[in-house]
Amino acid sequence: MDLRLRDTVVLVTGASRGLGAAIALALAAEGAYVVAAARSRDGLREVAAEGGGRITPIAADMRDEAEVAALPGQVVARHGRIDGLINNAGIAPAGKFADQDPAVWKDTLAVNVIAPMLLAQAAGRHMIAQGGGRIVNVASTTGVRGKPMLVGYSASKGAVIRMTEALAAEWAAKNVQVNAIAPGAFSTEAQKAVLESPDLLRRRVARIPAGRMAEPQELVPLACLLVSPLSSFTTGATFVVDGGESGKL
């Protein structure tokens, strides 16, 4: 199936590794022009080198509101438009809620909620002016069902899902579609501690009906479809990709 992504322009955050890198490379393979944003300059260079000349790396810190708000404008300055935004960057500090410093929450909300809001706002203005576009927010299954030791992260991803729904309703008439993906357990660097511990891995996999963790490439087709013009009547939805874990009683 042709996803009609050739020569479209997509901004992907958190694109130096893991899910973001896999999505950026897949979009480039589909013929899109991708602007990959993240803090790691080295990681971005590696991803861009694999992108066949279709990936432009831009180093940006999601905690820096000025840098974040400027990203969509940089995309438009380079390519003349912005057709898609994938808000993938995020952090997930773990800890006992009773002992957690409020500064940890503020940092989590800055990266996981405020940055996607600023990006959606800035990109959305361009999308509305050009006649449409698509925004995909990468949330988490912890935003659907809260998880112990990740209270702040769960709260932030729950906020992302609600923002997705409300913004989708507000911008549907502007031909801007807004959807979310809620991944479960994926084999990425974010799960390094689990992957390197046979006991932790065994216990983690035991909670997944599919009996395994997913690979980043298993999220890629959905992300590409949601940023494609083919998804023009799909908006306000959250797609859970977790091997059946959140649906298990």
Name the residues annotated as catalytic.
153
Measured distance CA(54)–CA(7) in Å, rounded? 9
Which distant-in-sequence residues (6+ apart) come within 8 Å of 44 by Cβ?
15, 16, 36, 37, 38, 57, 58, 59
Which distant-in-sequence residues (6+ apart) come within 8 Å of 198 by Cβ?
none
The full 3-state SS of 178-192, as one line of letters, equals EEEEEECCECCHHHH
136-170 b/e (C-beta count within 10 Å ≥ 16 → b): bbbbbbbbbeeeeebbbbbbbbbbbbebbbebbee
The full 3-state SS of 95-163, as one line of letters, equals CCHHHCCHHHHHHHHHHHHHHHHHHHHHHHHHHHHHCCEEEEEECCHHHCCCCCCCHHHHHHHHHHHHH
Measured distance CA(10)–CA(135) in Å, rounded? 9
How many residues are listed for the chain in this entry?
249
